[in-house]
Amino acid sequence: MIDRVKGVRDFIGITAVLRQQALESIRKSYELFGFEPIETPSFEYLSLFTNKSGPEIESQLYSFEDKKGEKLALRPEHTISKLRVVSGNKSLVFPLRAYSIGNVWRYEDTKKGRWREFIQADIDIFGSADIKYDSEIIACIDFAIKRLGIENYKINVSNRKILTSLMESLKVEVEKIVQVLREIDKVHKVGLDEVIKRISELIGETKAEKVRDYLNGKEIPGIEGIKDVEYLISDLKKNYGIEGVYFDRSLVRGQDYYDGSIFEFEFTEGELKGVVLAGGGRYDKISMKFDSDFPISGGAIGFDVIMEVLVSNYKNKFYKTLCVLSVDDLETSRKIAASLRKEGLVTDIILEDTPLSKGLNYCNSKKIKYAIIVGKRDLKDNLVTVRDLESKREMKFKLDSLVEEIKNLI
Amino acid sequence: MIDRVKGVRDFIGITAVLRQQALESIRKSYELFGFEPIETPSFEYLSLFTNKSGPEIESQLYSFEDKKGEKLALRPEHTISKLRVVSGNKSLVFPLRAYSIGNVWRYEDTKKGRWREFIQADIDIFGSADIKYDSEIIACIDFAIKRLGIENYKINVSNRKILTSLMESLKVEVEKIVQVLREIDKVHKVGLDEVIKRISELIGETKAEKVRDYLNGKEIPGIEGIKDVEYLISDLKKNYGIEGVYFDRSLVRGQDYYDGSIFEFEFTEGELKGVVLAGGGRYDKISMKFDSDFPISGGAIGFDVIMEVLVSNYKNKFYKTLCVLSVDDLETSRKIAASLRKEGLVTDIILEDTPLSKGLNYCNSKKIKYAIIVGKRDLKDNLVTVRDLESKREMKFKLDSLVEEIKNLI
């Protein structure tokens, strides 16, 4: 036998069903807010990624030569491909609301529990610098996550202008800013004191203590961006009814392209407490790399994390699918299946003579909730038995009213 | 600027919206018939494909080495990956109804108008040799295509046993059978006489004339498979109400793996007349290559062809999306958008002050059907204007009943 490649996955059964349901739900949420799909190819010229993200990215890419010797790479994220499309299309009308849901590939160290193929579900609004569009992105992601039935999370927000402005006011040397920000990002992991100690070594104690003041919530005059954060929090409450949004002063969210609002959805309960369900922010200057000039606000749901949360909650769920099992009248069973499907009811049927026990085993393996058992003895009295595989309860319905009864049942 | 790679595509705007709608519709149809998703990785070890399909397949594959020197390839179809999963999973309960919808990649000659990345939408039933499952596959695909609004097609069916049996009865040498079948497959293109002429050169005139008899509809005693075709046609009519199924005696459908029923959905109107929308058949012996032994019946919708038919019909369609445009009251506009979305109505909104003409232009570019125009003069009388961008008709609704009025409208 030949195995599956390391670091990628197969999905089958309950997990696969849940994944499709979650993907569809996210898509519907994005569409509800007026977002339209952008689909890009799975691979691009390697140079597109290395030109835009720097040559060091190649070590994380699946890059290869095609049969003509062209150097290609599987996309490691949606952003660069979307920017190629949007900046190359002069007929587009802004603001453009677009979503992209699909696989991305990264040559990651699999020991860390990371996957080499996974799904990202992005939304972006291209072409407006207005902060109200940041609200719209966050509200749309909030809607999508709530619609999946996930409620135990909080939204951390900040603005990249704040820390940039603080670094400038402290006259931190440009080449040290990235290192300082990286340390600030670790406050929740290693604690404030440890972070200040590390920063002191980089920029001296006096400046580090100013950073401590800011992280402790002290007003620092002349720092840009704080008003934006306050507006964002109040706007999300007022116009979308979203509470539970917090100014997280240590939020950095990666070192590159963000230059305005930034946000993270943080799960707050159980074993997965602390994981980031979604994140994003404003990146107004990135399009210049594509010889264009349009501001962008965007975000993405981490589909794998979402699935971890969902699967841990729904493991024992039965699906409201029906299965028609013939004990000894396949003709009638097929008629029943046809009439159920006509009403839009998801219906499986075993088309060969099968002992009842084997049929019920089949239903259980697929987490089908209702088995419709068609037997001669029942049919004599014009009846059909419906078995609820979850509660193990059995009901008898008249053949003529079966479809109606089942519609009431599910 | 860096271009897109040759032979692959971007989708944006109307086409992208239609693609997502069609994909979702196909998925729902497959699910209605009890099929569940199987998701496999985008790439496999190259040896999986070359072992199962023969080394000559490598010329059509995107194959590459990963950073550890492992030889991989992007999947050129779903079948082999699905067989790897199903044959390697001993806990599965048969019959297993599975669908796979996703990208496949082939290094094709782009001059022929073929794409190097495209979507295949497969269904398969693993683990039963019963011909009623062939009916179920065909009926499910028929349902999926009709649900997309496509009705101008016919279904051609045959059975691989027939031609195999005919070749055996004519004692055609094994190494010539493939060539003869390849010629028979061309009857619709080059005509019967030409095909018989070509076959005569391969197996002699006497035997070729027997093939002509068969293709002309003559009963040939002892030929296996004809009864199966007759059963399939009558079963599709009786149990699924499907008419328009024809025995196509020249149908071959590729040279390999099929060994039972075969079928093709052929479009019958307009410029695209003759194109194959979907096809498939029974391939009972292929699992042996995976050290397993389970029969399979399956089929696939050619998503690109389906999209060609759909796009040519729906080019000028307006989407029933709403867009709230503020002339001079953004606060009220945002409240309206929130209440529309609460009711599940797909709603876009421009969040900056924008002149009305620019707002309407935005709606037109996205094929949004209804613009909800919120202006001060209207609001004084507690009214809002709704403009139908398709008919250019304008309506005025009371602010309080707007959501209800719009629900009645769309």
B298, pLDDT greater than 90: yes
Nearest chain B alpha carbon to A9: B41
Residue positions of B in the annotated binding site for L-histidine? 77-79, 106, 120, 124, 253, 257-258
* Rounded Cα distance, B377 and B153, in Å: 54
CB–CB of B11/A39 below 8 Å? Answer: yes
Q: What is the 3-state secondary structure (H, E, C) of B255-275?
A: CCCCCCEEEEEEECCHHHCCC
pLDDT at B314 over 80: no
Q: What is the distance between the alpha carbons of residues B198 and B152, in angstroms, rounded to a whole number?
A: 33
Dihedral angle, C-alpha A9, A12, A17, A22, nearest 10 °: 0
A79 is in an annotated binding site: yes
Q: What is the pLDDT of residues B88-144, one digit of tens each?
A: 998 899 999 999 999 999 998 887 778 999 999 999 999 999 999 999 999 999 999
The alpha-carbon radius of gyration of chain B (Å, integer) is: 27
Mean predicted confidence (pLDDT) in A151-163: 97
Q: Choose among B2, B132, B361: nearest Cβ to A51.
A: B2
pLDDT the model gives residue B343? 96
**What residues pair up with A37 in beta bridges, in sequence order?**
A99
pLDDT confidence of residue A386? 98
Cβ neighbours around A68 below 10 Å, total: 7
Q: Minimal CA–CA distance to A71: which of B64, B180, B306?
A: B64
Same domain flag for B310 and B331: no
Find out whether A50 is annotated in a ligand binding site. Answer: no
Tell me the C-alpha distance between B94 and B298, whole Å.
15
pLDDT at A315: 64
Same domain, residue pair B244 and B365: no
Write phi, then psi, for A29 (nearest 5 degrees): -65, -45
Chain A: closest CA distance from residue B248 (Å) = 26
Q: What is the pLDDT of residues B37-66, one digit of tens each?
A: 999 999 999 999 998 888 888 899 999 999
Radius of gyration of chain A, Cα coordinates, nearest whole angstrom: 27
Q: Do B93 and A365 touch (CB under 8 A)?
A: yes
| Residue A218 DSSP one-character state | -
Residue A124 labeled ligand binder: yes
Convert the pLDDT of each residue in A13-35 to its tens digit.
989 999 999 999 999 999 999 99
Measured distance CA(A181)–CA(B99) in Å, rounded: 47
The answer on B250 and B114 residing in a single domain is no
Full strand arrangement of the beta sheet holding A43-45: A43-45, A71-74, A63-65
Confidence band, pLDDT 50/70/90 cuts, at residue A301: very high
Partners of B34 on chain A (C-beta within 8 Å) are 321, 323, 346-349
CA B226 to CA B239: how far, in whole Å? 20
Reference A117, options A298, A304, A308, A307; nearest CA is: A304
> Please, where are the H alpha helices in A289-391?
303-314, 330-342, 356-365, 376-380
Which of B398, B293, B335, B132 shows the shortest CA–CA distance to A235?
B335
Q: Does any domain span residue A134? A: yes
User: For chain B, first and last CA: distance in Å?
Assistant: 43
Q: What is the pLDDT of residues A255-267, one digit of tens each?
A: 678 999 999 999 9
Rounded CA-CA distance B370/B318 in Å is: 9
Q: How many CB atoms lie within 10 A of CB B249?
A: 20
CATH of the domain at B361: 3.40.50.800
Same domain, yes or no, for B306 and B323? no
Mean pLDDT of B145-163: 96
Q: Do B341 and A143 touch (CB under 8 A)?
A: yes
Q: Is residue A35 one of the residues assigned to a domain?
A: yes
Q: Which of B27, B39, B70, B97 to mutate: most A Cβ within 10 Å?
A: B39
Distance CA B324, CA B374 (A): 7
* Alpha-carbon gap: A28 to the closest alpha carbon of chain B (Å): 9
Indicate if A324 and A261 belong to the same structural domain: no
Contacts of residues A86-89 at CB distance under 8 Å and 24 or more positions apart, as own/partner, are A86/A38, A86/A126, A86/A287, A86/A292, A86/A294, A87/A287, A87/A290, A87/A291, A87/A292, A87/A294, A87/B1, A88/A290, A88/B1, A89/B12
Q: Is A377 annotated as a binding residue?
A: no
B133 lies in the same domain as B2: yes
Specify the residue for token string 């099992």.
A325
Pure H helices in A185-225: 187-190, 192-203, 205-215
Out of B298, B314, B330, a domain closes at B314
Mean pLDDT score of chain A:
94
Taking the CA of residue B203 and the nearest CA in chain A, the distance in Å comes to 39
Residue A86 lies in a domain: yes
Q: Does residue B107 lie within any of the structural domains?
A: yes
What's chain B's average pLDDT? 94
Cα distance between the two ends of chain A = 43
pLDDT at residue A208 greater than cutoff 80: yes
Mean pLDDT of A189-214: 96
Indicate the pLDDT class of residue A321, thresholds 50, 70 and 90.
very high
Residue-level pLDDT at A14: 87
What pLDDT was estimated at residue B130?
97
Q: Do B85 and A10 touch (CB under 8 A)?
A: yes
Q: Which of B206, B234, B256 is the last residue of a domain?
A: B256
Select the residue of B38, B47, B361 nearest A93 (Cβ to Cβ): B361
Give the list of residues 6+ apart from residue B41 with CB closer than 8 angstroms, or none.
A4, A5, A8, A9, A10, A117, B75, B81
Nearest CB partner across the interface for A2, out of B51, B334, B338: B51
Q: What's residue B254's pLDDT? A: 78
Q: Which SS3 state, helix, strand or coil, does residue B99 take?
A: strand
Size of interface A-B (CB pairs under 8 A): 217
Q: Which residue of A has its CA nearest to B92?
A: A365
Both structure tokens of A211: 């950073």
Could you tell me which chain B residue has the CA closest to the CA of A86? Answer: B12
Q: Which residues of B touch A335 (CB under 8 A)?
A: 239
Residues of chain A contacting residue B365, judged by C-beta atoms under 8 Å apart: 92-93
Nearest to B297 by CA among B154, B114, B123, B101: B123
B263: in domain: no
Q: Are residues A113 and A127 in the same domain?
A: yes
Contact at CB, A107 and B143, closer than 8 angstroms:
no
pLDDT at A57: 87
- Alpha-carbon torsion B314, B316, B317, B319, what sign? positive
- Determine which of A37-41, B315-319, B343-347 has the lowest per-residue pLDDT on average: B315-319
pLDDT at A155 over 80: yes
Residue numbers in A near B38 (CB within 8 A): 10-12, 16
Sign of CA dihedral A177, A182, A183, A188: positive
CB contact under 8 Å between B62 and A62, yes or no, is no
Residue B336 and residue B349: Cα distance in Å, rounded?
A: 10
3-state secondary structure of B202: helix
Tokens of A148: 């999946």
Does B2 sit within 8 Å of A133, measured CB to CB? no
pLDDT score, position B48: 94
Q: Which residues in chain A are contacts of B26 at CB distance < 8 A?
A: none
For residue A72, give the nearest of B5, B291, B349 by CB distance: B5
Q: How many whole angstroms separate alpha carbon A113 and alpha carbon A298?
A: 26
- Report the distance separating Cα B11 and Cα B8, nearest Å: 10
Identify whether residues B67 and B117 lie together within a single domain. yes
CA distance B255 to chain A (A): 25
Residue A7 included in any domain: no
Given a cut of 70, whether residue B315 has pLDDT beyond it is no
Q: Which of B33, B84, B98 sits opposite A2 (nearest CB)?
A: B84
Q: Do B279 and B299 contact (CB within 8 A), yes or no?
A: yes
Mutate which: A17, A27, A36, A292, vs B, most B CBs within 10 A: A36
Contact B42 A42 (CB under 8 A): yes
* Average confidence (pLDDT) over A240-246: 97
Residues A98 and A238 in one domain: yes
Q: Which residue in chain B has the smallest CA separation from A20? A: B37
Q: Tell me: do A78 and A165 sit in the same domain.
A: yes
A391 and A259 part of one domain: no
> pLDDT tens-digit profile of A310-320?
987 766 678 88
Q: Which residues of A touch B347 (CB under 8 A)?
A: 32-34
Q: Among A284, A299, A314, identify where a domain stops.
A: A314
What ipTM was assigned to the predicted interfaces of this complex? 0.94
Residue numbers in B near A59 (CB within 8 A):
67
Distance separating alpha carbons of residues B193 and B187, to the nearest angstrom: 9
* B174 token code pair: 């094994």
Domain count, chain A: 2
Question: In sequence order, what DSSP letters do the residues of B142-181 get, joined into one string?
Answer: HHHHHHTT---EEEEEEEHHHHHHHHHHTT--HHHHHHHH
Examine residue B262 and state whether it is found in any structural domain, yes or no: no
Asked if the structure places residue B132 within a domain, the reply is yes
Contact B1 A350 (CB under 8 A): no
Residue B307: CATH number of its domain: 3.30.930.10
- Integer CA distances (angstroms), A330 to A187, A326, A352, A394, B160, in order: 66, 5, 8, 21, 27
Q: Which domain holds residue A330?
A: 319-409
Q: In B, which residues are within 8 Å of A241 by CB distance?
A: 338
Tell me: do B26 and B140 sit in the same domain.
yes
**Which residue from B minimizes the CA distance to A339?**
B240
Q: What is the pLDDT of residues A106-136, one digit of tens each?
A: 998 887 778 999 999 999 999 999 999 999 9
Q: Quick one: average pLDDT of B337-363?
A: 96
Closest to A263 measured CA to CA, from A144, A141, A114: A141
Distance from the Cα of A291 to chain B's closest Cα (Å) equals 8
Are the C-beta atoms of residues A152 and A308 closer than 8 Å to each other? no
Cα A297 to the chain's mean position, in Å?
Answer: 17
